[in-house]
Structure 1
Amino acid sequence: MKQFIDFLPLIIFFIVAKMDPREVSAFGQTFELGGIISATAVLIATSIIVYGLLWYKQKSLEKSQMITVVAVLLLGGMTVLFQDETFLKWKAPIVNWLFATAFLASRFIGQKTLIERMMDHAMTLPPPVWSKLNMSWVIFFALLGGANWFAAFMIPGDFWVDFKVFGNLGLTFAFVIIQMLFLGRYIKEDEAEKSP
Protein backbone atom coordinates (compact mmCIF):
# COMPACT_ATOMS: atom_id res chain seq x y z
CA MET A 1 0.00 0.00 0.00
CA LYS A 2 2.88 2.39 0.88
CA GLN A 3 4.39 2.06 -2.60
CA PHE A 4 1.03 2.92 -4.20
CA ILE A 5 0.70 6.01 -2.01
CA ASP A 6 4.21 7.13 -3.00
CA PHE A 7 3.37 6.69 -6.69
CA LEU A 8 -0.10 8.29 -6.53
CA PRO A 9 1.07 11.87 -7.28
CA LEU A 10 3.23 10.56 -10.14
CA ILE A 11 0.32 8.58 -11.65
CA ILE A 12 -1.93 11.65 -11.52
CA PHE A 13 0.89 13.74 -13.04
CA PHE A 14 1.15 11.23 -15.90
CA ILE A 15 -2.60 11.30 -16.59
CA VAL A 16 -2.78 15.10 -16.66
CA ALA A 17 0.42 15.40 -18.73
CA LYS A 18 -1.04 13.12 -21.41
CA MET A 19 -4.33 15.04 -21.62
CA ASP A 20 -4.90 17.51 -24.43
CA PRO A 21 -4.91 21.00 -22.89
CA ARG A 22 -8.43 22.28 -22.10
CA GLU A 23 -9.95 24.95 -19.95
CA VAL A 24 -11.73 23.90 -16.77
CA SER A 25 -13.51 26.02 -14.20
CA ALA A 26 -13.18 25.46 -10.47
CA PHE A 27 -13.62 27.71 -7.44
CA GLY A 28 -14.73 30.57 -9.67
CA GLN A 29 -11.48 30.45 -11.67
CA THR A 30 -10.62 29.11 -15.11
CA PHE A 31 -7.54 26.92 -15.41
CA GLU A 32 -5.84 25.10 -18.25
CA LEU A 33 -5.64 21.39 -17.56
CA GLY A 34 -3.45 19.13 -19.68
CA GLY A 35 0.18 19.22 -20.71
CA ILE A 36 3.37 19.32 -18.64
CA ILE A 37 2.95 22.67 -16.88
CA SER A 38 -0.53 21.99 -15.52
CA ALA A 39 0.48 18.41 -14.71
CA THR A 40 3.33 19.84 -12.65
CA ALA A 41 0.92 22.07 -10.73
CA VAL A 42 -1.25 19.00 -10.09
CA LEU A 43 1.86 17.05 -9.02
CA ILE A 44 2.69 19.75 -6.47
CA ALA A 45 -0.87 19.83 -5.13
CA THR A 46 -1.25 16.03 -4.90
CA SER A 47 2.20 15.70 -3.29
CA ILE A 48 1.26 18.25 -0.64
CA ILE A 49 -2.04 16.46 0.02
CA VAL A 50 -0.65 12.89 0.02
CA TYR A 51 2.49 13.59 2.06
CA GLY A 52 0.65 16.04 4.29
CA LEU A 53 -1.85 13.34 5.18
CA LEU A 54 0.95 10.83 5.73
CA TRP A 55 2.74 13.29 8.01
CA TYR A 56 -0.49 13.99 9.89
CA LYS A 57 -1.17 10.28 10.36
CA GLN A 58 2.40 9.13 11.14
CA LYS A 59 3.77 12.38 12.65
CA SER A 60 6.79 12.03 10.37
CA LEU A 61 7.91 11.22 6.83
CA GLU A 62 10.72 8.94 5.69
CA LYS A 63 13.86 10.74 4.51
CA SER A 64 13.27 9.57 0.92
CA GLN A 65 9.76 11.03 1.05
CA MET A 66 11.10 14.33 2.40
CA ILE A 67 13.66 14.53 -0.42
CA THR A 68 10.93 13.82 -2.96
CA VAL A 69 8.59 16.47 -1.52
CA VAL A 70 11.33 19.12 -1.41
CA ALA A 71 12.37 18.32 -5.00
CA VAL A 72 8.75 18.48 -6.21
CA LEU A 73 8.12 21.78 -4.44
CA LEU A 74 11.39 23.37 -5.54
CA LEU A 75 11.78 22.12 -9.12
CA GLY A 76 8.06 21.77 -9.77
CA GLY A 77 7.46 25.25 -8.40
CA MET A 78 10.14 26.66 -10.70
CA THR A 79 8.61 24.79 -13.64
CA VAL A 80 5.20 26.38 -13.02
CA LEU A 81 6.61 29.81 -12.17
CA PHE A 82 8.84 30.07 -15.24
CA GLN A 83 6.60 27.93 -17.50
CA ASP A 84 9.66 25.79 -18.34
CA GLU A 85 9.61 22.00 -17.99
CA THR A 86 13.42 21.86 -17.86
CA PHE A 87 13.35 22.35 -14.09
CA LEU A 88 11.05 19.35 -13.58
CA LYS A 89 13.16 17.24 -15.94
CA TRP A 90 16.04 17.61 -13.49
CA LYS A 91 14.00 16.23 -10.55
CA ALA A 92 14.43 12.50 -11.23
CA PRO A 93 18.17 12.62 -12.02
CA ILE A 94 18.92 14.83 -9.00
CA VAL A 95 16.83 12.76 -6.57
CA ASN A 96 18.38 9.48 -7.77
CA TRP A 97 21.89 10.92 -7.57
CA LEU A 98 21.17 12.20 -4.05
CA PHE A 99 20.08 8.68 -3.05
CA ALA A 100 23.26 7.23 -4.63
CA THR A 101 25.35 9.76 -2.71
CA ALA A 102 23.57 8.95 0.57
CA PHE A 103 24.14 5.20 0.15
CA LEU A 104 27.79 5.79 -0.78
CA ALA A 105 28.40 8.21 2.10
CA SER A 106 26.95 5.70 4.56
CA ARG A 107 29.99 3.48 3.94
CA PHE A 108 32.13 6.14 5.60
CA ILE A 109 29.71 7.64 8.14
CA GLY A 110 28.49 5.65 11.11
CA GLN A 111 28.81 2.00 12.03
CA LYS A 112 26.35 0.64 9.45
CA THR A 113 25.66 1.23 5.78
CA LEU A 114 22.35 2.80 4.86
CA ILE A 115 20.91 -0.44 3.49
CA GLU A 116 21.88 -2.22 6.73
CA ARG A 117 20.14 0.46 8.81
CA MET A 118 17.03 0.01 6.68
CA MET A 119 16.95 -3.80 6.60
CA ASP A 120 18.88 -5.22 9.58
CA HIS A 121 15.63 -5.69 11.50
CA ALA A 122 14.49 -8.14 8.81
CA MET A 123 17.67 -10.18 8.20
CA THR A 124 21.16 -10.89 9.43
CA LEU A 125 23.94 -10.70 6.86
CA PRO A 126 27.73 -10.84 7.09
CA PRO A 127 29.37 -7.37 6.86
CA PRO A 128 30.83 -7.99 3.36
CA VAL A 129 27.35 -8.86 2.06
CA TRP A 130 25.87 -5.68 3.57
CA SER A 131 28.67 -3.74 1.88
CA LYS A 132 28.03 -5.36 -1.53
CA LEU A 133 24.30 -4.84 -1.15
CA ASN A 134 24.79 -1.18 -0.26
CA MET A 135 27.16 -0.69 -3.21
CA SER A 136 24.63 -2.27 -5.56
CA TRP A 137 22.11 0.41 -4.49
CA VAL A 138 24.73 3.12 -5.10
CA ILE A 139 25.28 1.84 -8.63
CA PHE A 140 21.55 1.38 -9.24
CA PHE A 141 20.62 4.92 -8.21
CA ALA A 142 23.57 6.42 -10.11
CA LEU A 143 22.57 4.56 -13.30
CA LEU A 144 18.87 5.32 -12.81
CA GLY A 145 19.71 9.00 -12.45
CA GLY A 146 21.74 8.80 -15.66
CA ALA A 147 18.91 7.02 -17.47
CA ASN A 148 16.45 9.69 -16.33
CA TRP A 149 18.82 12.43 -17.49
CA PHE A 150 19.23 10.72 -20.87
CA ALA A 151 15.46 10.26 -21.30
CA ALA A 152 14.79 13.89 -20.34
CA PHE A 153 17.50 15.69 -22.27
CA MET A 154 18.75 13.44 -25.06
CA ILE A 155 15.51 11.98 -26.45
CA PRO A 156 13.24 14.51 -28.15
CA GLY A 157 9.56 14.86 -27.26
CA ASP A 158 7.88 13.89 -24.04
CA PHE A 159 9.29 10.35 -23.81
CA TRP A 160 10.75 11.39 -20.44
CA VAL A 161 7.22 11.50 -18.97
CA ASP A 162 6.64 7.86 -19.94
CA PHE A 163 10.09 6.87 -18.69
CA LYS A 164 9.59 8.77 -15.43
CA VAL A 165 6.51 6.69 -14.64
CA PHE A 166 6.99 3.32 -16.33
CA GLY A 167 10.75 3.16 -16.83
CA ASN A 168 11.58 4.02 -13.22
CA LEU A 169 8.93 1.65 -11.90
CA GLY A 170 9.99 -1.22 -14.20
CA LEU A 171 13.72 -0.82 -13.54
CA THR A 172 13.18 -0.54 -9.79
CA PHE A 173 10.94 -3.61 -9.77
CA ALA A 174 13.50 -5.62 -11.78
CA PHE A 175 16.32 -4.50 -9.49
CA VAL A 176 14.39 -5.46 -6.34
CA ILE A 177 13.65 -8.92 -7.83
CA ILE A 178 17.37 -9.40 -8.51
CA GLN A 179 18.13 -8.29 -4.95
CA MET A 180 15.59 -10.79 -3.58
CA LEU A 181 17.17 -13.61 -5.59
CA PHE A 182 20.61 -12.62 -4.31
CA LEU A 183 19.41 -12.41 -0.71
CA GLY A 184 17.30 -15.58 -0.87
CA ARG A 185 20.10 -17.85 0.24
CA TYR A 186 20.91 -15.63 3.23
CA ILE A 187 17.27 -15.52 4.33
CA LYS A 188 17.12 -19.33 4.26
CA GLU A 189 20.37 -19.58 6.23
CA ASP A 190 19.07 -17.02 8.75
CA GLU A 191 15.83 -18.98 9.23
CA ALA A 192 17.76 -22.25 9.63
CA GLU A 193 19.93 -20.69 12.36
CA LYS A 194 16.86 -19.46 14.25
CA SER A 195 14.99 -22.78 14.12
CA PRO A 196 15.56 -25.14 17.13
Structure 2
Amino acid sequence: MKFLFDFFPVILFFAAYKLQGIYAATVVAIGASALQVAWMRWRHGRTERMHLVTLGLLLLFGGMTLALRDPTFVMWKPSIVNWLFALVFLGGHFIGDKPLVQRLMGHAVTAPAVVWRRLNLAWVTFFVVSGLVNLYVVYIGSGFYEAKEALIAASGVPEVDLAACAEQFSGSVLGLCEHAHAAESAWVDFKLFGMMGMTLVFVLGQAFYLARHIEPLPETQPVLPTGAEDAAQEADAGGR
Protein backbone atom coordinates (compact mmCIF):
# COMPACT_ATOMS: atom_id res chain seq x y z
CA MET A 1 0.00 0.00 0.00
CA LYS A 2 2.83 2.39 0.86
CA PHE A 3 4.40 1.60 -2.50
CA LEU A 4 1.33 3.00 -4.25
CA PHE A 5 1.14 5.94 -1.85
CA ASP A 6 4.72 6.92 -2.73
CA PHE A 7 3.78 6.85 -6.42
CA PHE A 8 0.59 8.85 -5.83
CA PRO A 9 1.87 12.09 -7.49
CA VAL A 10 3.23 10.13 -10.46
CA ILE A 11 -0.08 8.34 -11.00
CA LEU A 12 -2.01 11.62 -10.93
CA PHE A 13 0.61 13.22 -13.21
CA PHE A 14 0.04 10.41 -15.72
CA ALA A 15 -3.76 10.74 -15.58
CA ALA A 16 -3.68 14.53 -15.93
CA TYR A 17 -1.24 14.31 -18.82
CA LYS A 18 -3.52 11.99 -20.77
CA LEU A 19 -6.39 14.44 -20.28
CA GLN A 20 -4.79 17.88 -20.54
CA GLY A 21 -1.08 17.63 -21.44
CA ILE A 22 2.24 18.21 -19.73
CA TYR A 23 1.60 21.64 -18.22
CA ALA A 24 -1.66 20.69 -16.52
CA ALA A 25 -0.02 17.43 -15.39
CA THR A 26 2.84 19.39 -13.83
CA VAL A 27 0.41 21.53 -11.82
CA VAL A 28 -1.45 18.39 -10.70
CA ALA A 29 1.81 16.66 -9.68
CA ILE A 30 2.85 19.65 -7.56
CA GLY A 31 -0.56 19.72 -5.87
CA ALA A 32 -0.55 15.94 -5.32
CA SER A 33 2.94 16.05 -3.80
CA ALA A 34 1.91 18.87 -1.45
CA LEU A 35 -1.20 16.89 -0.48
CA GLN A 36 0.95 13.83 0.16
CA VAL A 37 3.19 15.77 2.56
CA ALA A 38 0.19 17.36 4.30
CA TRP A 39 -1.53 13.99 4.71
CA MET A 40 1.55 12.42 6.30
CA ARG A 41 1.84 15.37 8.66
CA TRP A 42 -1.82 15.26 9.64
CA ARG A 43 -2.19 11.47 9.83
CA HIS A 44 1.14 10.52 11.40
CA GLY A 45 2.47 13.76 12.84
CA ARG A 46 5.59 13.62 10.70
CA THR A 47 6.84 14.07 7.16
CA GLU A 48 9.11 11.78 5.18
CA ARG A 49 12.25 13.23 3.67
CA MET A 50 11.59 11.52 0.35
CA HIS A 51 8.24 13.29 0.05
CA LEU A 52 9.73 16.65 1.03
CA VAL A 53 12.59 16.30 -1.46
CA THR A 54 10.15 15.32 -4.21
CA LEU A 55 7.93 18.31 -3.44
CA GLY A 56 10.88 20.71 -3.38
CA LEU A 57 12.23 19.51 -6.71
CA LEU A 58 8.76 19.50 -8.26
CA LEU A 59 8.35 23.13 -7.21
CA LEU A 60 11.75 23.97 -8.71
CA PHE A 61 11.74 22.00 -11.97
CA GLY A 62 7.98 22.01 -12.40
CA GLY A 63 7.95 25.74 -11.83
CA MET A 64 10.63 26.20 -14.48
CA THR A 65 8.63 24.03 -16.89
CA LEU A 66 5.54 26.18 -16.34
CA ALA A 67 7.38 29.51 -16.44
CA LEU A 68 9.49 28.73 -19.54
CA ARG A 69 6.93 26.42 -21.18
CA ASP A 70 9.61 23.76 -21.63
CA PRO A 71 8.84 20.15 -20.54
CA THR A 72 12.55 19.28 -20.43
CA PHE A 73 12.90 20.70 -16.92
CA VAL A 74 10.24 18.50 -15.34
CA MET A 75 11.70 15.53 -17.24
CA TRP A 76 15.00 16.06 -15.41
CA LYS A 77 13.31 15.95 -12.00
CA PRO A 78 13.21 12.12 -11.60
CA SER A 79 16.93 11.89 -12.37
CA ILE A 80 17.82 14.58 -9.83
CA VAL A 81 15.65 12.89 -7.17
CA ASN A 82 17.28 9.52 -7.78
CA TRP A 83 20.80 10.94 -7.71
CA LEU A 84 20.13 12.82 -4.48
CA PHE A 85 18.97 9.60 -2.84
CA ALA A 86 22.04 7.83 -4.22
CA LEU A 87 24.19 10.45 -2.46
CA VAL A 88 22.22 10.02 0.77
CA PHE A 89 22.62 6.22 0.75
CA LEU A 90 26.29 6.55 -0.20
CA GLY A 91 26.88 8.97 2.66
CA GLY A 92 25.01 6.63 4.99
CA HIS A 93 27.38 3.87 3.93
CA PHE A 94 30.38 5.62 5.46
CA ILE A 95 28.86 7.78 8.20
CA GLY A 96 27.84 6.04 11.40
CA ASP A 97 28.25 2.48 12.56
CA LYS A 98 25.53 1.09 10.29
CA PRO A 99 24.71 1.66 6.60
CA LEU A 100 21.53 3.61 5.97
CA VAL A 101 19.50 0.66 4.69
CA GLN A 102 20.18 -1.20 7.94
CA ARG A 103 19.02 1.79 9.98
CA LEU A 104 15.81 1.83 7.95
CA MET A 105 15.11 -1.92 7.97
CA GLY A 106 17.20 -3.37 10.79
CA HIS A 107 14.34 -3.14 13.31
CA ALA A 108 12.38 -5.68 11.26
CA VAL A 109 15.10 -7.92 9.80
CA THR A 110 18.29 -9.34 11.30
CA ALA A 111 21.12 -10.06 8.85
CA PRO A 112 24.95 -10.08 8.85
CA ALA A 113 26.66 -6.69 8.62
CA VAL A 114 28.24 -7.55 5.27
CA VAL A 115 24.79 -8.22 3.80
CA TRP A 116 23.54 -4.81 4.88
CA ARG A 117 26.56 -3.11 3.36
CA ARG A 118 26.10 -4.92 0.04
CA LEU A 119 22.41 -4.05 0.03
CA ASN A 120 23.15 -0.41 0.76
CA LEU A 121 25.53 -0.22 -2.20
CA ALA A 122 22.90 -1.96 -4.32
CA TRP A 123 20.49 0.88 -3.49
CA VAL A 124 23.13 3.44 -4.46
CA THR A 125 23.60 1.66 -7.79
CA PHE A 126 19.85 1.42 -8.35
CA PHE A 127 19.32 5.14 -7.82
CA VAL A 128 22.22 6.09 -10.10
CA VAL A 129 21.07 3.74 -12.85
CA SER A 130 17.44 4.89 -12.55
CA GLY A 131 18.51 8.50 -13.07
CA LEU A 132 20.59 7.59 -16.11
CA VAL A 133 17.82 5.47 -17.61
CA ASN A 134 15.38 8.36 -17.26
CA LEU A 135 17.70 10.69 -19.21
CA TYR A 136 18.29 7.97 -21.78
CA VAL A 137 14.54 7.82 -22.40
CA VAL A 138 14.31 11.63 -22.64
CA TYR A 139 17.20 12.15 -25.03
CA ILE A 140 17.59 8.85 -26.90
CA GLY A 141 14.92 6.27 -26.17
CA SER A 142 11.88 8.41 -26.88
CA GLY A 143 13.75 10.92 -29.03
CA PHE A 144 11.86 13.75 -27.32
CA TYR A 145 14.66 16.30 -27.14
CA GLU A 146 15.63 15.91 -30.79
CA ALA A 147 11.97 16.03 -31.88
CA LYS A 148 11.35 19.15 -29.80
CA GLU A 149 14.39 20.96 -31.23
CA ALA A 150 13.36 20.03 -34.79
CA LEU A 151 9.89 21.43 -34.14
CA ILE A 152 11.25 24.69 -32.73
CA ALA A 153 13.63 25.07 -35.67
CA ALA A 154 10.85 24.48 -38.22
CA SER A 155 8.15 26.55 -36.52
CA GLY A 156 10.23 29.31 -34.97
CA VAL A 157 8.05 28.98 -31.85
CA PRO A 158 10.09 28.19 -28.72
CA GLU A 159 7.06 27.71 -26.45
CA VAL A 160 4.84 24.96 -27.83
CA ASP A 161 1.95 23.13 -26.21
CA LEU A 162 2.36 19.68 -27.73
CA ALA A 163 -1.11 18.65 -26.58
CA ALA A 164 -2.65 21.08 -29.08
CA CYS A 165 -0.63 20.49 -32.26
CA ALA A 166 -3.60 20.67 -34.64
CA GLU A 167 -4.63 24.05 -33.23
CA GLN A 168 -1.21 25.59 -33.82
CA PHE A 169 0.32 24.08 -36.96
CA SER A 170 -0.41 22.46 -40.29
CA GLY A 171 1.46 20.58 -42.98
CA SER A 172 4.95 19.30 -42.25
CA VAL A 173 5.23 21.33 -39.04
CA LEU A 174 2.09 19.62 -37.76
CA GLY A 175 3.80 16.28 -38.40
CA LEU A 176 6.83 17.41 -36.41
CA CYS A 177 4.61 18.55 -33.57
CA GLU A 178 2.76 15.25 -33.47
CA HIS A 179 6.06 13.37 -33.49
CA ALA A 180 7.32 15.45 -30.55
CA HIS A 181 4.05 14.86 -28.71
CA ALA A 182 4.31 11.10 -29.25
CA ALA A 183 7.89 11.20 -27.88
CA GLU A 184 6.73 13.21 -24.88
CA SER A 185 3.94 10.72 -24.26
CA ALA A 186 6.45 7.83 -24.42
CA TRP A 187 8.45 9.46 -21.61
CA VAL A 188 5.29 9.95 -19.50
CA ASP A 189 4.47 6.25 -19.95
CA PHE A 190 7.99 5.35 -18.88
CA LYS A 191 7.80 7.68 -15.87
CA LEU A 192 4.86 5.69 -14.49
CA PHE A 193 5.17 2.13 -15.77
CA GLY A 194 8.91 1.97 -16.40
CA MET A 195 10.09 3.50 -13.15
CA MET A 196 7.43 1.76 -11.08
CA GLY A 197 8.37 -1.55 -12.71
CA MET A 198 12.09 -0.98 -12.10
CA THR A 199 11.43 -0.16 -8.45
CA LEU A 200 9.16 -3.17 -7.94
CA VAL A 201 11.69 -5.57 -9.52
CA PHE A 202 14.49 -4.17 -7.39
CA VAL A 203 12.46 -4.36 -4.15
CA LEU A 204 11.51 -7.97 -4.90
CA GLY A 205 15.15 -8.78 -5.64
CA GLN A 206 16.11 -7.19 -2.33
CA ALA A 207 13.52 -9.32 -0.53
CA PHE A 208 14.83 -12.56 -2.08
CA TYR A 209 18.42 -11.59 -1.26
CA LEU A 210 17.56 -10.79 2.35
CA ALA A 211 15.55 -14.00 2.70
CA ARG A 212 18.71 -16.02 1.96
CA HIS A 213 20.68 -14.26 4.70
CA ILE A 214 18.18 -13.54 7.46
CA GLU A 215 19.54 -14.64 10.82
CA PRO A 216 16.99 -16.49 13.01
CA LEU A 217 16.11 -14.88 16.30
CA PRO A 218 17.81 -16.55 19.30
CA GLU A 219 15.62 -19.12 21.05
CA THR A 220 14.55 -18.14 24.53
CA GLN A 221 13.61 -20.50 27.34
CA PRO A 222 10.27 -19.88 29.01
CA VAL A 223 10.60 -18.17 32.37
CA LEU A 224 8.79 -20.12 35.09
CA PRO A 225 7.32 -18.46 38.15
CA THR A 226 9.31 -18.65 41.38
CA GLY A 227 9.22 -22.18 42.76
CA ALA A 228 7.79 -23.63 39.59
CA GLU A 229 11.14 -25.03 38.47
CA ASP A 230 11.57 -27.02 41.72
CA ALA A 231 8.02 -28.31 41.49
CA ALA A 232 8.61 -29.39 37.90
CA GLN A 233 11.73 -31.27 38.91
CA GLU A 234 9.94 -33.00 41.80
CA ALA A 235 7.06 -33.97 39.52
CA ASP A 236 9.51 -35.34 36.98
CA ALA A 237 11.31 -37.36 39.65
CA GLY A 238 8.05 -38.71 40.98
CA GLY A 239 7.00 -39.88 37.56
CA ARG A 240 10.07 -41.99 37.04
- Give runs of aligned pairs for residues 40-189 of structure 1, distance below 5 A: 40-154=26-140, 155-156=142-143, 157-158=183-184, 159-187=186-214, 189=215
CA distance in 1 between counterparts of 2:5 and 2:198 reads 19
TM-score normalized by the length of structure 1: 0.86
Given that 2:115 and 2:213 are in contact with CA atoms closer than 8 Å, whether structure 1 keeps it comes out as: no
Residues 194 and 62 (structure 1 numbering): CA distance in 2 closer, same or farther, change over 3 Å? Answer: farther
Please report how far the alpha carbon of residue 116 of structure 1 lies from its aligned counterpart in structure 2 after TM superposition.
Answer: 0.8
Query: Structure 1: any 5+ residue segments left out of the alignment?
Result: 20-33
Please report how far the alpha carbon of residue 194 of structure 1 lies from its aligned counterpart in structure 2 after TM superposition.
Answer: 4.2
Q: Deviations over 1:97-152 (max 9, x none)?
A: 11111111112212211101101101122111111010111111111111111112
Query: Structure 2: any 5+ residue segments left out of the alignment?
Result: 144-182, 222-240
- Partner SS for 1:90: helix
Considering fraction of residues, name the structure with more strand: 1
Residues 195 and 138 (structure 1 numbering): CA distance in 2 closer, same or farther, change over 3 Å? Answer: farther
TM-score normalized by the length of structure 2: 0.71
Q: Deviations over 1:60-88 (max 9, x none)?
A: 21111111111111111111122111110
Considering fraction of residues, name the structure with more helix: 2
Aligned-residue CA RMSD in angstroms? Answer: 1.5
CA distance in 2 between counterparts of 1:190 and 1:147 reads 38
CA distance in 1 between counterparts of 2:8 and 2:189 reads 15
Q: Which residue is 1:27 aligned to?
A: none
Q: Which residue is 2:14 aligned to?
A: 14
Q: Which runs of 4 or more aligned residues in structure 1 lie more than 4 Å from their structure 2 counterparts after TM superposition?
A: none
- Partner SS for 1:76: helix
Work out which of the two has the higher radius of gyration on C-alpha atoms and give 1 or 2.
Answer: 2
% identical aligned pairs = 42
- Partner SS for 1:190: coil
Q: Deviations over 1:140-170 (max 9, x none)?
A: 1111111111112222212211111001110
